[in-house]
Amino acid sequence: MSAVPGLKEDCEELLDAFQQADTVRFERFAELWRERRFHTIFYGRIRALERNKITKKTLDVAQQYFFPPYSFQIRVGALYLLYGLYNAQLCQPKQKIRIALKHWPEIQKFQLDLLDAQHYDAVYIFRRLRLARAFHFTAMPKLLTYRTKKKIEKSYFKEEFKDPSNRVNSLITNDVLEELMNIHDHYQKMKCVISADKSQPDKALSLIKDDFVVNLKDITLEHQEWQQNRMKLLRNAKVAPETEDKKKEETLLKSEGSERANALARIKYKSYSAVVEVSRSRRHRQVQLESSESGPSCGKSPGRSKKASRTPQPARRGGMQVAEETVTRHIGMPIIVEEDSDE
């Protein structure tokens, strides 16, 4: 099915404006709708057959925004948009909105969320749609058609509409942290058991930082905060007029970025420079601090700690470079060299 030209842009523009308005009230949406006179989107001399097809495609485009991973506000906007389009259509009998079976639990959860948050206007709109029998309950979201496509259109998500995808958070969840904590405790206990002094582990055995789990949690929280701030700044930066304000915003963004980069560099420096002094018996096998240009690693694996060398760390890079993926010469594991290190 070829897309209706210009439709996606128009919908996104309206939803964008709605997101800027930073509210979920229907009155606000209706104002934006009336400003753009969106109900005229079905105008133009279209004959019945073509009109059916176009309306179906329009509703299909609009309903994509109704599901995750779009953010809450966009989803409410999509609900209003569907309501508006459904009522503004000129087809008789009206074309319906296709909802797939797999989406229904999400929609019901969404409705409950709306009720809890007391957004009664959104709930009312949804109820109106249900009562008007506006939905087709289907097995699959897209109706299949069989035309050879000249090029496969990849559906893309508009970045700003999405909830910031927090990959770090989804990786380091509470469960994972708890698990790590447990393993860490167990590990410490094992070390105590096998070392001579039963109350604390042998110095030779301490190869990881004791509080690395707590550090990990802090880093994750910091990352999340930073990401939220960045999203906010990005959004504001878009709206700000093209004056020095914008430049200021950009430099603020940049400085945010570089701040972040500096913070990262500092953390790396700390973790990689904390080398435990090995015991005398193993003096010939001192660990040497190898300077690496590796990219950021969140300390997920307990890296081998290195000798505490106060040699200036060339790994400190300002600007945005550390934030991006630098060219890694090798992954951050240090090499143990068979020589005395300098202290």
Partner 1 sequence: SIDMLMSSEKEEDPDVIPEDSSLLTLRIRKKALERREETIIVDRACRQETLTYEMESHATGKRPDDPTDLIEEGELLLTLNIFYPVIFQKHKDHKPYQTVLVLGSQKLTELRDSISCVSDLQIGGEFSCQPDQAPEHISKDLYKSAFFYFEGIFYNDKRYPECRDLSRTIIEWSESHDRGYENLQSVKMEDYVFNDLSLKIGFPYLYCHQGNCEHIIVITDIRLIHHDDCLDRNLYPLLVKKHWLCTRKCFVCKMYTARWVTNRDSLAPEDPCFFCDVCFRMLHYDAEGNKLGEFLAYPYVDPGIFN
Contacts with partner 1, residue ranges (CB under 8 A): 4-7, 9-10, 13, 26-27, 30, 33-45, 47-49, 52, 84, 87-88, 90, 93-94, 96, 98, 124-125, 128, 133, 136-140, 143-148
| H or E stretch covering 199 | none
Nearer to partner 1, 44 or 312 (CB): 44
- Rounded-to-integer distance, Cα 243 and Cα 269, Å: 38
CB 78 within 8 A of CB 15: yes
* Helix, strand or coil, per DSSP, at residue 266: helix
Which residue number, 137 or 157, has a Cβ lying nearer to partner 1? 137
Instruction: Give min distance, CB of 298 to partner 1, in A.
Output: 42
Cβ proximity to partner 1: between 161 and 272 the closer is: 161
SS (H, E, C) 39-96: HHHHCCCCCHHHHHHHHHHHHHHHHHCCCCCECHHHHHHHHHHHHHHHHHCCCCCCCC
Backbone angles phi, psi at 331, to 5 degrees: -70, 150
Indicate the residue among 5 and 241 with the shorter CB distance to partner 1.
5
Q: Considering the complex, what minimum distance in angstroms separates the CB of residue 147 from partner 1?
A: 6
Q: How far is the CB of 7 from partner 1 (least distance, A)?
A: 5
Residues with Cβ within 8 Å of residue 81, at least 6 apart in sequence:
11, 14, 15, 29, 62, 65
User: Shortest approach of partner 1 to residue 71 CB, angstroms?
Assistant: 24
The one-character DSSP state at 118 is T
Whose Cβ is closer to partner 1: residue 96's or residue 304's? 96
Nearest distance from residue 103's CB to partner 1, in Å?
Answer: 13
